[in-house]
A and B are shown apart, each in its own frame.
Chain A
Amino acid sequence: MIVKIVSKNFDIENSHKLEVAVKNGRYSSLNKLFTMTPEEVTKEVIASGLRGKGGGGAATGNKWQLIPDEHEKPTYLVINADESEPGTFKDRQIMEYDPHLLIEGIINSSYAIGAHHAYIYIRGEYVFWAKRMQEAIDEAYEVGYLGEKIAGHDYALDLTLHRGAGAYICGEKSALLESLEGKRGHPRLKPQQKEPEWFFGGPTVVNNVETIASVPYIINEGFEAYRAHGTDCSPGTMLFGLSGHIKNPGVYELPFGVSMTEVIEKIGGGVKDGKKLKAVIPGGSSCAILRADEINDITLDYESLQEHGSSLGTGGMIFIDEDTSIPESMKNLFEFYHHESCGQCTPCREGCGWVDKILGKILKGKGSLKDYDTMLDACEMLNGKTICVFAPSVAYIADSYLAKFKNEFDVLCKE
């Protein structure tokens, strides 16, 4: 089942060191890259069907095309290494085991969009991974894979690593850029029409670590090779994460379209301690929860999960066994959302707090029938006018817990 495109070098000893990385194919895309025009690179990526791995699944090449042809300020590429979505722990594998793959992808992608400075915004807690990444960047500068003339070609690129300092919302792209500009990480109000992001007035692309790490393969092998894996709408592979009540937790690179139940059995080794599965949160905590009886036909791709009322998200699956209380799990996540709402919008700030409080009350045995409805009302409020999609996605997941496990809430919400 496993297909190794991004994770190909992960098991090689010292794969993070430049010498080993180069021996194993890193930076080999550069020769081909510089025979192509930037437009050709973007076209290749569009043809590959590569979709963003940060949670949204946006078409990568099309996003690059949003950079306007003419503009005053420089263009930037910003790599989102904030990785804070509960259940998600994949980007750190790339930075730990193949940081040069990420740098190679950054060179490919910066060249395509015309950027001469790229930034990696890494979550503050990832101290080890920041050091790893910085060492790789230093190595790359030393031998000329970064700097004035990349590998002797007429193209200059600087790469700067920037550490966050603990704020989930900074993973949202506009909040990330606010933070990179030195401010608090408040998401920006986005105009309706399609346009790029902006960093100090320069048009900017924000992409996830894994997205960019997928680019060198596409440049090297061509779009067809990438499309040979996965499905029509979800081409290629993804680093899927398995955590919670599963025997073999970890990160595994799989082609899109594989069966979820097969992954649980063959890769995950089944539910931990021989218990029965109760539920799955399929792609990070911001995806609607699925009951065990709903997953039989699910394949791991954008289409299938959407059809089944959830989403693929970051590919980080959390498994929950039969002995676990869903209201308790929901409370755990609502403490998270309550804590992480940036507080700019009243519906978000109040709605998250409200649901958190009610869940606390009913778990203490003080629930009444009214509380269930009050939580549904809070969801409606969260679906109101807010600056970013944090609030509506919280509403959407809350609805899924309440609807699918009503029986468990009924027991707690007595007359």
Chain B
Amino acid sequence: MSEFKFSEENEKKFQELLKRYPDRASLSLPSLWMIQYQEGWISEEAMVFLADKLGTSPMDIQGIASFYTMFNLEPIGKYHIQVCKTLSCKLCGSEKIKSHIENKLGVKFGETTKDMKFTLTEVECLGSCGTAPAMSFNDDYVENLTVEKIDELLDTLK
């Protein structure tokens, strides 16, 4: 059933990385990242594929992948909005930002819009406390959030 395969580029990267660690076990996180960038999420087939490559069991890979919150073990929306909920952001008004986003997209945090466009997630401190409130938008950070900034960003994508 293992239909997943690394893209040519990722396979090459995998081989390069093998030389940079004393043991191939270290490649689990880098490989899970490559899978997620390739597919958008990490499927069971991909885990079977990776287990085979690293010489371990799919269960082992599952245990690793599920420990780290950034790995998506099911498909998510095209745009992943992750708003920081920790103290400095809260003190600077993250709650207002969160409810504004919820109202705008019509879904709650922890949910994905029906058209699979947006997924909303609350996350812990992003390391942007000095530019709070902060969120990440796919791979990018958006900081010093205001309602206007959210509108500007989302209105172009909706």
What is A's interface to B at a CB cutoff of 8 Å? 73-74, 83-89, 92, 117, 123-128, 158, 160, 162-168, 179-185, 199-200, 202, 241-245, 249-251, 281, 285, 316, 318, 320-321, 324, 329, 332-333, 335-336, 339-340
Contact = CB atoms under 8 A, between A and B. Distances in A.
B68 A158 contact: no
Nearest to A343: B67
B155 interface: no
B32 A165 contact: yes
Q: Which of B32, B33, B91, B136 has the most CB of A within 10 A?
A: B91
Nearest to B125: A86
27 contacts: A84-B124, A85-B125, A87-B88, A88-B127, A89-B129, A163-B33, A165-B29, A165-B33, A165-B71, A166-B69, A166-B70, A181-B26, A182-B26, A199-B22, A202-B22, A241-B130, A249-B132, A251-B130, A285-B86, A285-B87, A316-B129, A318-B88, A329-B87, A332-B85, A335-B85, A336-B86, A336-B87
Interface in B115-158: 123-132, 136, 139-141
A181 B125 contact: no
Q: Which of B23, B32, B67 has the most CB of A within 10 A?
A: B67
Given A158-B20, A163-B29, A165-B68, A318 B91 contact: yes
A183 B130 contact: no
Q: Which of A87, A128, A168, A324 has the most CB of B within 10 A?
A: A87
Nearest to B92: A244
B132 A128 contact: no
Given A125-B123, A251-B130, A332-B85, 18 more contacts: A84-B125, A87-B87, A92-B127, A124-B68, A158-B20, A164-B68, A165-B29, A165-B69, A181-B23, A182-B29, A183-B25, A185-B67, A202-B22, A241-B130, A244-B87, A249-B130, A281-B87, A333-B87
Contact of B129 (A181, A183, A243, A335): A243
A8 to B, nearest CB: 20
Contact of B130 (A83, A123, A242): A242
B59 interface: no
Contacts of B107: none
A86 to B, nearest CB: 4
A42 B141 CA distance: 38
Interface string B73-93: 000000000000111101110
Contacts of B92: 243-245
A7 to B, nearest CB: 14
B28 interface: yes
Given A163-B29, A163-B30, A184 B127 contact: no
Interface residues of B, number: 41
B124 A86 contact: yes
B105 interface: no
B136 A241 contact: no
Nearest to A169: B67
Interface in B1-43: 20-23, 25-30, 32-33
B110 interface: no
Contacts, number: 145
Given A320-B91, A332-B86, A336-B125, A128 B29 contact: no
Pairs A-B, 3 closest by C-beta atoms: A165-B68, A166-B70, A166-B69
Nearest to B91: A244
Contacts of B30: 162-163
Contacts of A340: 124
Given A86-B125, A125-B136, A182 B27 contact: yes
Contacts of A251: 130
A285 B128 CA distance: 14
Nearest to A165: B68
Q: Which of A83, A165, A244, A250 has the most CB of B within 10 A?
A: A165
Contact of A167 (B32, B68, B125): B68
Nearest to A92: B127
A212 to B, nearest CB: 18
Contacts of B139: 127-128
A339 B86 CA distance: 12
A167 B67 contact: yes
A87 B68 contact: no
Given A165-B69, A332-B86, A243 B124 contact: no
A331 B23 CA distance: 42
A17 B92 CA distance: 34
